[in-house]
Structure 1
């Protein structure tokens, strides 16, 4: 489990760093080309939008890992610590349920004995449908040399941009399970960071005196 956690940590951090670097480089290049040479890459805006969406969906799970998700716990802090931890565990379980439902909701309908009624199923099925359909991005195109070398169509397949949906939800589900374990074993009380401001004030209360 520890080895798997390290692999996922490295994967998340590597992808997030790469996305941030690419967004910065592409945006900087566009500014230089647009204002310096009155030209630019027509697909830059859509490219950075896709990267931003990837950053958000990777950030869901990474935020759980580093305790960066904010929450309001003023009410549940009034309860005894075991009850407070129970609320924290409930939050982690609900986050796991949220990830599972968005990944594929068919199992939930089957569990409750409900008909599908034309439901798309979830993120996995959504990406799988785009994988089968020859639909490309509006502005993102392959270079001509790439098209000739691999015999692909002009536009980048749309499912390339959407594949982060099931991947991000799987990572979120994994982190939710991890939070459940940490709360059950007493290593954490909750998965949110609600008292960051109070801790910062406490740490820096003597700064002005100096």
Structure 2
């Protein structure tokens, strides 16, 4: 049991995180909402802080942190991959709805449901292309898997990030290698896609029940103009 856990514990981590997230979202949605917003805010704050400190260090002291650029890129990737599910949750994704708005209400709902279903399929194929592609009888043109297989491959190989290194005290305390293992920053790939599929499935149900119009933000610009049309007059 111990050897199995040592080999597959990233899988266990992903499954436990996802299940815990879904349960808390159902039982305690306010907590998850606050957690999502806090997580996104922390990433944005870290990106700003690291970038600002690098500018000051570079131009003020002719020094800097060698891994800052790579760290910022990782944070930006986490922001995108986590934020895409959050965007569905709050209805912030923009989309072109000029054509489907011409459809009758029933066909409009069918198109909206199709959009949510295709989003689930998109997330599933990117998560594990080999398994889901085979399940759907899709032709596999040399694909060796999706995001999960990609991260699992890096977990098995002793490959670290190019410039991102552990602080000295972590290296000494835990006796780890100098460079951060590549699978750690990349683990957001399967987690982000799993959350995207979950939010798309959630939107599908809400659209089916008539509690949500579509998976995208409809007429966002028009609504903003309408809300603020009297601002200039004041």
Global fold match (TM > 0.5) = yes
After TM superposition, give the deviation of residue 24 of structure 1 in Å: 1.2
Tell whether 2:59 aligns with 1:30.
no
CA deviation string 1:115-144 (max 9, x = no partner): 866532110111011001000111011122
Unmatched runs of 5 consecutive residues or more in structure 1: none
SS in 2 for 1:27: helix
- Residue 75 of structure 2 corresponds to 51
121-130 or 198-207, larger mean C-alpha shift? 198-207
d(CA) in 1 for partners of 2:137, 2:229 = 57
Unmatched runs of 5 consecutive residues or more in structure 2: 1-24
Tell whether 2:127 aligns with 1:103.
yes
- Residue 149 of structure 1 corresponds to 173
105-114 or 150-159, larger mean C-alpha shift? 105-114
d(CA) in 1 for partners of 2:33, 2:225 = 30
CA deviation string 1:8-36 (max 9, x = no partner): 43442232121111111111111111111
Report the count of equivalent residues. 210
| TM-score, with structure 1 as normaliser | 0.93
d(CA) in 1 for partners of 2:30, 2:150 = 30
Instruction: Name the CA shift for 1:118/1:72 in 2 (closer, same or farther; >3 Å).
Output: closer
d(CA) in 2 for partners of 1:30, 1:125 = 35
